[in-house]
A = this chain, B = another copy of it.
Amino acid sequence: MTDAFGSDDQQIIHGDCIELLAEMPAESVDVCFADPPYNLQLQNELYRPNRSRVDGVEDGWDQFDSMHAYDQFTAAWLTAVRRVLKPNGTLWVIGSYHNIFRVGRILMDLGFWILNDIVWIKSNPMPNFRGVRFTNAHETLIWAVRDKERKDYTFNYEHMKQYNDGKQMRSDWFIREGICSGFERLRDAEGKKLHSTQKPEAILRMVVEASTNPGDLVLDPFVGSGTTAAVCKKLGRRCIGIDANEDYVQIARKRLAAIQPALWLEEPGEAAAGE
């Protein structure tokens, strides 16, 4: 099985995901996992409806304009993803209350059919230091099939039972690793984290094991530090990862090169217990 996957089965491509997706063949992707940007202010990247980058301060955008621009951006990439997804392919999107309601509403309107919303419950969330809200201890994932009428999407129901004591897996996922810290976190020579929102591999492992089979093609339009591609390589899935940031592309490629193909493919239960 391992030999079936060559070094090109996981690719990291630099560029604008909407442009690159337009060049891909339609209905060719089994699953898309997307971790879209949502804190536009912190990233200093606001998007106009035509997706040109603007300076939010000098343009004096108010909340509505900013939200509208985010909606346009969201609809654009979701539409592009929808075209390349197989009709029975599924989409995963992760987000927080800042963006997940907008993303969820838009993907419903585009025709995606929600299968589940999943809550990733963190064991070590960042506290609310000022004590003015509840600790934000979870993030939300939406799982949706491209075409409502397709019931033959991939869901490895029996396989996922191992993550809930042999009973059917629930929509609340307690990930022991919590937020990404410790040895898994990619850091530079000075110990500075290389990506601000690196997701734990455990999350992607659940996603990939639940909704794909070995050899399937996974698309990540916002690959960031490359967690999706890394997990795909370990699980023997093909992957196309895209990022507009050249630095992230280099980080993800380097990370990928150090991974042994199909590392987790042999004994998933044992490997899961041993980590």
Contacts and interface: CB of A to CB of B under 8 A. Distances in A.
A172 B134 CA distance: 9
Given A97-B116, A121-B121, 17 more contacts: A63-B148, A64-B109, A67-B108, A96-B117, A97-B117, A100-B104, A101-B105, A102-B105, A102-B108, A104-B105, A117-B140, A133-B155, A134-B170, A135-B170, A135-B171, A137-B170, A137-B171
Contacts of A170: 125, 134-135, 137
A36 to B, nearest CB: 14
A157 interface: yes
Closest 6 CB pairs of A and B: A101-B104, A137-B170, A97-B117, A105-B105, A135-B170, A131-B157
26 contacts: A97-B116, A97-B117, A98-B114, A100-B101, A100-B117, A101-B102, A102-B105, A104-B105, A116-B133, A116-B136, A119-B119, A119-B172, A128-B168, A131-B157, A131-B158, A131-B168, A132-B155, A132-B157, A134-B143, A134-B169, A135-B168, A135-B171, A137-B170, A138-B171, A140-B140, A172-B172
A6 interface: no
Contacts of A132: 151, 155, 157
Contacts of A103: 101
Contacts of A102: 101, 104-105, 108
Interface residues of A, number: 47
Interface of A: 63-64, 67, 96-98, 100-105, 108-109, 114-119, 121, 125, 127-128, 131-138, 140, 142-143, 148, 151, 155, 157-158, 160, 168-172, 210
A91 B131 CA distance: 19
